[in-house]
Amino acid sequence: MVSASILRGKPAFRLQDAPTWVLIAGSAALGLPTMATLAGGAWTQESGAHGPIVLATSAWLLWREREVIRTDARPGNLILALPLLVLSLAVYVFGRAFDFDTLEAGGLYGAGLSAAYAAIGGRLMARLWFPFFYLAFAVPPPRLWMDIVTAPLKQFVSVASSGALHGMGLPVAREGVIIFVAQYQLLVEDACSGMNSLIGLSAISLLYVYLRRRSSVAYTALMVALVLPVAVAANVVRIMALILLTYFFGDGVAQGFLHVTTGMFLFAVALSLVFALDAGLARLLLPREEAG
């Protein structure tokens, strides 16, 4: 008997398609609650605002490779995939049960990698390494790790910004991460340390380098390493600008609308500087066809 779907010219559902639909349904069941959690928490903060952008662009990058995935996919070894999947799901459940966003999102990320390996194999994942690596930026970093890394950065940007302005003759002094200017005192918070800018800048810079150059892992790692001094320098300038605004216009002006505006403006400047560094380094380090 000829099925109605064939009579209408549409392919009938095949049994081998079932794992794909199970994978999609399972991903939605796990991913949508986590996305809702992050949308109400980590993604609303400066350190995680890039998360939705990373998630959307990662999906787009994989969608661009759909023909390669369709033709070259080879199922991975389930003996390797299943233990990682079970471990990732355990981390996911623990993180969700105890409100650890990093563990919840990290467990979901690990489960996604396990499922991808089982579906398309390690060789194809290695060829398409960038979208899978880039997706990790959507996982919010652990708070404890952020505190450990941020502390010395806050000290550095405090010393650099107050020292530069004091050398220019302004009445600026510093005690730890507290900066005194005239009758005002400013606390250098985590957002001004450069760490938040570093994560967002790294993600966007990586995407730019991948789309612009399709270059090697070594060149990509070099660009990521250059993002750190750019992000820190941008935040030193940001703090100097806030000190000057406080000194000349008062604390209300510096801590109001201009506080956010300076951060956005200097992020754009830092990103432009990363693009300029890439243009210069590409001419020196990459073949002509990639550097063009």
Full pLDDT tens readout for the chain, 292 residues: 434 443 444 444 343 444 566 666 777 788 889 998 898 888 887 777 888 999 999 999 999 999 998 899 898 898 999 999 999 999 999 999 998 999 999 999 999 999 899 889 999 999 999 999 999 999 988 877 777 777 788 888 888 988 999 888 888 988 888 888 888 888 776 555 556 667 888 888 888 888 887 767 788 888 888 888 888 888 888 888 888 888 888 877 667 666 667 777 778 888 888 888 888 888 887 766 555 5
Same domain flag for 268 and 175: yes
The residue from 96, 174, 192, 213 that is catalytic is 192
**Left, alpha or beta for 178 (phi > 0: left; psi -120 to 50: alpha)?**
beta
Q: Determine, yes or no, domain membership for 152.
A: yes
172-175, strands of its sheet edge to edge: 172-175, 178-181, 184-187
Contact 281, 218 (CB under 8 A): no
Is 192 among the catalytic positions?
yes
The total of structural domains in the chain comes to 2
Tell me the pTM. Answer: 0.77
The residue from 213, 238, 283, 288 that is catalytic is 238
Inter-axis angle of helices 195-213 and 51-64, nearest 10? 20
Q: Which range of residues forms the domain containing residue 189? A: 144-291
Same domain flag for 124 and 158: no
Same domain flag for 210 and 258: yes
Is 14 among the catalytic positions?
no
| Closest listed residue to residue 149, CA positions, set 195, 106, 188 | 195
Same domain flag for 24 and 152: no
Same domain flag for 195 and 84: no
